[in-house]
Amino acid sequence: MSKRLTLAVSQSHTLPTTSATLSALSSTARSASRSNVHLLLFPEAYLGGYPRTCDFGATVGSRSDQGREQFLQYYHNAIDLGDTPRGAGDDWVERRLEVAKGKDYRGDGTREELEKVARETGVFLVVGLVERAGGSLYCGVVYVCPREGCVGKRRKVMPTGSERLIWAQGSPSTLKAIKTTISGVEITLAAAICWENYMPLLRYSLYSQNVNLYLAPTADARDTWLPLMRTIACESRAYVLSANQCVRRKHLSPWIHGAPSRKEMDNKQPPMPAANTTGTDIHDDTTATSSTEEPIPKTPQPTAADSAPGDPSPSPLRSGATPSPIKQRTDRRRRSSNLTPIPDNHFLALPSESQEISALDDDSEPTGKPKTNAQSHHDISPPNNTITTTHQPDPDSSKDGEELVCRGGSCIISPSGDVLAGPLWDLEDELLIIGDVDFEDCERGRLDLDVAGSYSRNDAFELRVQGLDLSPPP
């Protein structure tokens, strides 16, 4: 029996209000459904927002009134899923928690709305969000099945850098993998959020549960992210999906640029000056840079005219078709991306062939297994609607809020570490990248490596996680 599914990653940015973002999520899921997508991943903090560039008025030993007003706005934008501050686990999933008198559900209704979207579209949703529980905020991921509703939720166990000011730490017990059946294919999935993927023991806790679908919503758009995703895929012998937001400065919430303090509002004074946007405290899981360092060059929005007519590129991908994976790259240059538009504002993102140097010298994988149809490599002239994006400076990109503060980089990686689609750079218009995958490739890869099984030496090494059973789910 075939174990093929169609997976998708949404490169979407948070909208000014939670209701607007939920509406966009619904639209994206319906678009994915029309392309026969079975599972769809959204970026880190998609619901609630990632407050990029905001310093919340904090320095070591001091917080400002303006920063507290910013946090108030952020707190109100976060969603309430009806969970407890400690995390109720299965009691939350099974709706065993007490409901307030006169209400039909806990929380603000976001859980019910996500379940409705999944049910109506038939798409399994994995959504990055900022959750409000008690007086604290948590960065999390929720898993929403079209048949069963929310089947799991987890919270980021270690916020990075300045995130620790605004996000509490989640429980390691939420690293529990989810086993489900989608269109007759049994999969075990789990998520590691952003820089949790740099925690080797956390990764291993997911490998130990025998995941074959590893989800990595992120806010990291650096060049080092893609190699990390390829390493994780190779280690885990799982498909890896990573979703990031592509954000221009104009997309940031208005309160990030400067919220008036309570005293100012009481006195009806004008708002305080805008919050720091110099790059000295950027909360994007990257190392902060001083104003004396060279800024990251910005990339203009590409157009079809930017395509080089002679560059080889895959033919357009139609809904339900099989994308072409990418042979491993051996150079260190940033690769260009050929983006082939397909219906409903979806893209297949593949590197420019001119910059690819194959690590394979024949048509076989390292194991000697002939390539399947899904692994064949196209070498044809690009269609007229192919878009080529490259990393070039744009001196005018900061005008009118067009400056990119996060470049995206969403991708899909095979169990052997090959890039199937992406990374998708500098495009932010609610785009999907889609991959038609065969989960039997995960099992084929175990001939070479099973880091939590035959390759683990579990007689000598042992990992224990408080509150978490590392056995594969039944």
Instruction: Tell me which residues are annotated as active site.
Output: 44, 156, 194
Contact, 439 vs 239, CB < 8 A? yes
Helix 110-121 and helix 18-34, axial crossing angle in degrees, nearest 10: 10
Written as one string, the DSSP assignment of 47-82 is: BT---TT--TTEETTEE-HHHHHHHHHHHHHSB--S
DSSP state of 461: -
C-alpha distance from residue 43 to each of 192, 303, 362 (Å) = 12, 25, 36
> Residue 16, SS3?
coil
Q: What is the chain's percent helix, strand, coil content, to nearest 5?
A: 25, 25, 55
Q: How many residues does the chain have?
A: 474
Identity of residue 228: L
CB 46 within 8 A of CB 14: yes
The two most distant CA atoms of the chain are separated, in Å, by 75
The structure tokens 């769809």 sit at: 40
Q: Take residue 178 and report the two structure tokens written for it.
A: 């989810």
User: Closest by alpha carbon to 297, among 428, 160, 390?
Assistant: 390
* Distance from C-alpha of 8 to C-alpha of 321, rounded to nearest angstrom: 13
Tokens (6 digits) for 295: 């800024």
